[in-house]
Amino acid sequence: MRIEPLGLEGAYLIRPQIFPDSRGVFLEIFNQPDFEETIGHPLEVAQVNCSSSRLGTVRGLHGVAIPPGQARYATCVRGAIIDIVVDTRIGSPTFGDHVPVRLDDERREALYLAEGLVHGFAPLGDEATVVYLCSSIYSPAASFQINPFDPALSLPWPQHGEPILSDKDRAAPTLRQALDLGMLPTYAECLALGEARRLRAGGGSREALR
């Protein structure tokens, strides 16, 4: 598989090699050695989630405060979605920037997001199913939402009539409001989590490896 950085630090697109035959297809959704070689630390998995969404649904934008923080590894196993990643790390050079990524059940690509990168997704067809691996378990107290229709973000959601949102997502603050409320992690805090994982894996610090 190929693991390619996106336009935000800590966001990567994973392109698997697909092996088709008369029975169907086979692929590796995740490969720990390849992941660790590129990212610099192993993927720690504490919870695996699966969601199914119908056309018109927008899920997100969702994040987890530090502590504990949460990295995510997501793929679309049925249908197609647009997944939009937003940098909410205070002090990041790309704070407030976003990257849209298409995930579908043909190319079978996956998306890895380090802590501090929030995301949301919407189906591009009648129905889509998404599976995502999380580095920490669900914590209601640490979870936060950013309004997916924050006009300052101007995210490219598909237009299918009135969007279907959860009550929490509909009432979520804008990015600016979340910043003023002290909800967002800092860039330094997020980088420190990745550094700690590298040290636990015996890979040494980034500075030592340069």
Q: For residues 35 and 88, give the distance between their C-alpha atoms in angstroms, rounded to a whole number.
A: 24
Q: For residues 73 and 62, give the distance between their C-alpha atoms in angstroms, rounded to a whole number.
A: 14
Answer whether the bond into residue 163 is a cis peptide, omega within 30°.
Answer: no
Mean pLDDT, consecutive 10-residue stretches, the chain (210 aa), reads 96 97 97 95 96 97 95 98 98 98 98 97 98 96 97 96 96 98 96 88 54
Domains of the chain, CATH where assigned = 2-193 (2.60.120.10)
Q: For residues 205 and 172, give the distance between their C-alpha atoms in angstroms, rounded to a whole number.
A: 37
Type and span of the H or E element at 111 = strand 110-113
Answer whether the bond into residue 61 is a cis peptide, omega within 30°.
Answer: yes
Residue 204's pLDDT is: 54
The residues assigned a catalytic role are 62, 132
Contacts of 152 (CB under 8 A, 6+ apart): 96, 174, 175, 176
Residue 203's pLDDT is: 59
Residue 197's pLDDT is: 85
Furthest-apart CA atoms within the chain: distance in Å: 56
Residue 170's pLDDT is: 97
Q: Which two tokens stand for residue 159?
A: 């237009």
